[in-house]
Amino acid sequence: RGGESNAVAFPPGSTLETVLVQAEGPGEAVLTLSFQGTGAASGISCEALLKMTAVAVTLEPVTTENSPEVYNPCGIATGGIGYYKINVEPTSLFPDDKISWSVVSGDVSFVGNRNTGRLVAVKGGSTEGAFKLEVELEGVNFPANPCIAGMVLDPKTVPVTVWIVRDDNGNNAACSEGRVQELLSGVNAIFKQCAMTFHVNGAIQYTNCEEWLDIDFTNGWSGELESIRNIETATGGIELYFVRDFYIDGTIAGSLLGLEDTQGIVLRSGISERTLAHEIGHACGLLDIYPYRSVSNTLERVVTGPVTADRLPQDWGAGYYPPDLLQAYLITYRLLMMGYEDPTITTTCDIPLGSVYGTWFDRLPPLFEGDVVIDVWEQSLAPVGLNSMGNRQPCHQ
């Protein structure tokens, strides 16, 4: 600043410069500030050292870590346990004892009162409701501390009635009983974040009808599909019907893995637990979300740009996602309700707390017999999260 120091006159006005320093990675650095006088002060110089620490913090409410039983779950069952994780670098400067978690609100607590570290176990209390966790780093003042919100939920147990199609002679079953149990085990890991458990209701049943093994879906819902879904009704829970394949125009429809409506879920052989969990998500009231709309060999309504607070309003966590994370990537690789299944992607297991921005459609039912079903496409917040679940006790008719 202008004025006098040590009887040396400085010109009036500011002599300080503002320097913007950007960290290229986590760690420590030293910034050297040098001052050299001019004119009458030409013999005066000074130097100051400024030590800086760059901290990389990642806390992702929507994540792929530890899938299918993901970290940072949207919910915890009453009396249940969920695991919450934050990544902090450099680890040498921030050991676990310098990372402290706290409960801002809600009926949750830390297991064993251990609330420090990169991974903490959180126990749900006895009261349903919202909760919020926050993280502080010793010696670091954030504009907003990393945080995560969730729900304490009463646990729900959903009975599952299973039918498997075989040929007329009772051979060539579309699925094995062992595989059904494996699928439900995977589904239970995924739906733990919603405090939901699924179990086979009674014995697994078979129907010997060769014409139902392969379903022609060329013209949509067919008579075979209607017949299969009406094998059993009003079971008090989820109904699963396994067939061998779906066909469109005489060719196996490789991208058609399962179909769900109010009468049950029809599934092809060889599906993953994520496919089954996805279809159960529909039974709970969730809709598909896409990074784009694919129609007539073109891409429409393509989702571009990074994740932001208004695109993940209930799952933003104060903004500690990786800075280069794109919204389309989050949709494609993380969300259970991603509508285009790629068998090479095995991480789509997350059910967020709230709605997520993306491309999606709502299906308008026909008003009168003979009317065509209309899909209304949007690019906005899609109902793919826990708070959009109309029912955590789904029941097919």
Cis peptide before 68 (omega within 30 of 0): yes
39 vs 354, residue with greater confidence: 354
6 pLDDT exceeds 70? no
Which has the closest alpha carbon to 273: 360, 341, 213? 341
pLDDT in tens, 163-185: 999 999 999 999 999 999 999 99
Task: Report domain 156-283's class.
Answer: alpha beta
Say if domain 57-153 classifies as CATH 2.60.40.10.
yes
- Provide the pLDDT for residue 301: 92
Q: What is the pLDDT of residue 2?
A: 37
The pairing of beta strand 214-216 with beta strand 245-248: parallel
Cis check: omega of the bond before 90, within 30 degrees of 0: yes
Please state the rounded mean pLDDT for residues 83-106.
98
Residues of the chain with pLDDT > 70: what percent?
Answer: 93
Which structure tokens are listed for 346? 């095995």
Between these two residues, 131 and 215, which has the higher pLDDT value? 131
Determine the 3-state secondary structure of 281 from DSSP. Answer: helix
pLDDT in tens, 278-332: 999 999 999 999 999 987 777 889 999 999 999 999 999 999 999 999 999 999 9
Q: Please give the pLDDT value at position 19.
A: 74
Spatial distance between the Cα atoms of 52 and 27, rounded to a whole number of angstroms = 9
Whole-number pLDDT of residue 14 = 55
Q: How far is 268 from 246, CA to CA, in rounded Å?
A: 7
The whole-angstrom separation of Cα 216 and Cα 220 is 8
Task: State residue 214 phi and psi, 5-degree precision.
Answer: -120, 120
pLDDT of residue 3: 40
According to the model, what pLDDT value does residue 254 have?
79
Q: How far is CA 28 from CA 18, 52, 89, 90, 222, in A?
A: 21, 6, 11, 9, 66
| Residues whose CB falls within 8 Å of the CB of residue 2, separated by 6 or more in sequence, listed in order | 10, 11, 12, 13, 14, 15
**How is the chain split into domains, by residue range?**
19-54, 57-153, 156-283, 293-388
Residue that wins the pLDDT comparison between 40 and 94: 94
Q: Which residues contact 338 (CB under 8 A, 6 or more apart)?
A: 278, 288, 289, 290, 331, 332, 348
Average pLDDT, the chain: 91
Residues 6+ apart with CB under 8 A from 155: 77, 78, 80, 195, 196, 197
Per-residue pLDDT band for 225 (boundaries 50, 70, 90) equals: confident
